[in-house]
Amino acid sequence: MTHAEAASRAAALSAELHRHNHLYYVEAKPLISDKDFDLLLRELQDIEAQFPDLLTPDSPTQRVGGAPLEGFTQITHTVRMMSLDNTYSEEELTAFFARVQKGLGRDTIDCVIEPKVDGVAITIRYENGVLKHGATRGDGQTGDDVTNNLKTIRRLPLRLPKDGPQTFEVRGEVFMTKAGFARLNQEREEAGEATFANPRNSTAGTLKLLDPKIVAKRPLDIVFYGLADAGGIDLQSQTDVYALLDAAGLRKADLTWHADSAAGLLSAIRELDAKRRSLPYETDGAVIKVNSFTDQRELGVTSKAPRWAIAYKYQPEQAETKLTAIDIQVGRTGALTPVARLEPVFISGSTVSNATLHNYEEIQRKDIRVGDIVVIEKAGEIIPAVVSVKKEHRHGGEQPVPVPTHCPVCHTPVRQDEEQVVIRCPNPHCPEVVKRRIEHFVSRAAMDISGLGESVVAQLVDTKLVGDVSGLYALDELLLARLERVGARSIDNYLKAIAASKQQDPWRLVFGLGILHVGAGGARKLLEHFGGIDAIAAASIEELTQCPDIGPIVAPSIHDWFHDEENIKLLDRLRSAGLNFTQKAVEAASARLNGTTWVITGTLSQDRDTIADLIRAHGGKVSGSVSGKTTYLLAGTDAGSKLDKATKLGVQILTEAAFRAML
């Protein structure tokens, strides 16, 4: 491909991967399988290898996905929590071992192999024998402090045996057992509550709960696999880590193997594949690590993953069943998404009756018809997807799936985007679009109006009590009393949450408005740059592109939204309701940093937002990427690609101590 084609494709892949990272790590609602994600990531890696100038510091290939959650304090990891490179191919696993051999200069290297538990990565610190804190991976440098939730896991000791190690930081995986997950879903079904899709998502959602009493009722468990800080204990290998875990009374992998050759690695992963379904938890692969820490240090790490470890993913389990119907779901942007309804079939530990079809282009490409016998798989043992059609079983009565010409809800003629992939209902008043937009607006990541779940929002729209997000601020006790199964206490809680949302930071409002291509990070950047929503609305496309991280695709989308007549009226109603439209100014401490632009990287004594506010308070500006306009790079420990780029550009690099001295 040409450089222009590569740049366009790389930008599209980056946006898609960032979106799926957010869905997976933050919302715990993945839309694609691990394998499909890995294929997209591999394509981007190949483009960046061919065109190195397209590699940016914020590329999904350069960092672990994820972001801090609202509602939890943050913990800075003493050692970065990295992801692993992975493969689905035995040939690539053999190639990995060959790279290790070449890197170490010898043929025989001892490796350990253990199951890859399908859960949520966690780090836990013990000091003087007592559990001090536990945190999620987050963005790899800082994570959410979920200590109180972790303390509800009965297998996790709050105090260590006195005859074992006392101070160290250990890495592991929180999960739900298969039996516990089945029991939880049965209890929820009996209580008339929605059941959960799979153990991994249920685990992620449970760790986000703010009430440990609810967490304690969930069947969480934990297993450990490594150390971040040995606390001065002399450890020479992963084998020594297993011994330390045993001495501390911490659960390690139920199955482990050693292998010192490529043939041995292949034998181990095949044996694990035969045994893993008997394990009490879901697994989707094997983790292979070089055993010796000396060897690990010599092999080193990339900006994203260690060179001494790899995850081997097993091919997803498949099954055949009949596709009985295709329904259409309408999203908050009006996107029409086809969903396959199936004759129930048991696969990878659960019964599946629905599967994703992604879009109508895929339906046409695979020639999927209602009545077909289809092959489905739970990719990564999580999300059911239609893989292929058994056309040899057709009898002539199968019905082709027409591309919709009208919205199935409001019957408005649909529109197709420029790429001819996404089909949308353009009617902003479509009841389903309105419901999805309100659900997004009230979500914790946006305006955080707790209690207004899917069923309540549906009633508000269906009864015409609310026509758009501004209608929430006109609700009162009498109007809410019209809703079914909503008591006085709930009404009081709803009204308090709605009133409190008026004081939210304006970036949350911008994010909650659901402007196409504008995520939470983009909304923050816009408010930092412009200072208020009215200034954003008045900005030209050229002025919008001057905002960090707002490019030539996002800027026109923002400009179009703020110049739409209906949206202008919506903003007027929200302003009249008393919502916060102006970013709170950072109190000026001095003018010492006037005229300087800063980029922050690595682990510092405080979280990045706090450091950024400190820089602004002294007159400086903060950017997310290094460029020729950068005055200083503030580099903490474990700094990555931003440090490399700053060095190449000749940007002055400061330690935190030098930064503090400057102030």
CA distance 503 to 258: 57
Please check whether residues 250 and 138 belong to one and the same domain: yes
HEC letters along 334-362: CEEEEEEEEEEEEECCEEEEEEECCCHHH
116 belongs to the catalytic site: yes
Please check whether residues 447 and 477 belong to one and the same domain: yes
Alpha helices per DSSP H over 476-564: 477-480, 488-501, 506-512, 520-530, 533-538, 541-545, 554-562
Closest CA to 55 of 640, 657, 661, 660: 640
Can you give the pLDDT at residue 372?
A: 95
Please check whether residues 148 and 211 belong to one and the same domain: yes
Please check whether residues 465 and 571 belong to one and the same domain: yes
Can you give the pLDDT at residue 381?
A: 46
Residue ranges of the chain with per-residue pLDDT less than 50: 380-381
Please check whether residues 215 and 283 belong to one and the same domain: yes
Please check whether residues 285 and 357 belong to one and the same domain: no
Please check whether residues 553 and 539 belong to one and the same domain: yes
Please check whether residues 168 and 303 belong to one and the same domain: yes
Q: Does residue 423 lie in a domain region?
A: no
Among 313, 342, 362, residue at a domain's last position: 313
Looking at residue 330, which CATH number applies to its domain? 2.40.50.140
**Contact in structure between 258 and 112 (CB atoms under 8 Å):** yes
Please check whether residues 193 and 168 belong to one and the same domain: yes
Number of domains in the chain: 5
Please check whether residues 258 and 122 belong to one and the same domain: yes
Considering 35, 116, 208, 525, which one is annotated as catalytic?
116
Q: Does residue 302 lie in a domain region?
A: yes
CA distance 257 to 288: 9
Q: How many CA atoms lie within 13 A of 33 on its CB side?
A: 25
Q: Does residue 67 lie in a domain region?
A: no
Looking at residue 529, which CATH number applies to its domain? 1.10.150.20
Q: How many CA atoms lie within 13 A of 366 on its CB side?
A: 21
Please check whether residues 46 and 138 belong to one and the same domain: no
State the residue for tokens 């009498």.
Answer: 478
CA distance 433 to 254: 47
Please check whether residues 267 and 170 belong to one and the same domain: yes
Can you give the pLDDT at residue 160?
A: 85
Q: Does residue 557 lie in a domain region?
A: yes
Q: Does residue 174 lie in a domain region?
A: yes
Among 262, 295, 313, residue at a domain's last position: 313
Cα-only R_g, the chain: 26
Closest CA to 358 of 338, 372, 378: 338
- Side chain identity, residue 547: C
Among 261, 286, 313, residue at a domain's last position: 313
- pLDDT per residue over 535-571, tens digit each? 999 999 999 999 987 888 889 999 999 999 999 999 9
SS3 559: helix
Q: Does residue 583 lie in a domain region?
A: no
Statement: the pTM of the whole predicted model exceeds 0.85: no
Looking at residue 649, which CATH number applies to its domain? 3.40.50.10190
In Å, how far are 229, 431, 636 from 297, measured between CA atoms?
15, 58, 20
Q: Does residue 422 lie in a domain region?
A: no
Give the pairing of strands 632-635 and 652-654.
parallel
**H or E stretch covering 193:** none
Q: Does residue 584 lie in a domain region?
A: no
Q: Residue 22's domain spans which residues?
A: 3-54
CA distance 481 to 490: 10
Looking at residue 38, which CATH number applies to its domain? 1.10.287.610
Can you give the pLDDT at residue 463?
A: 94
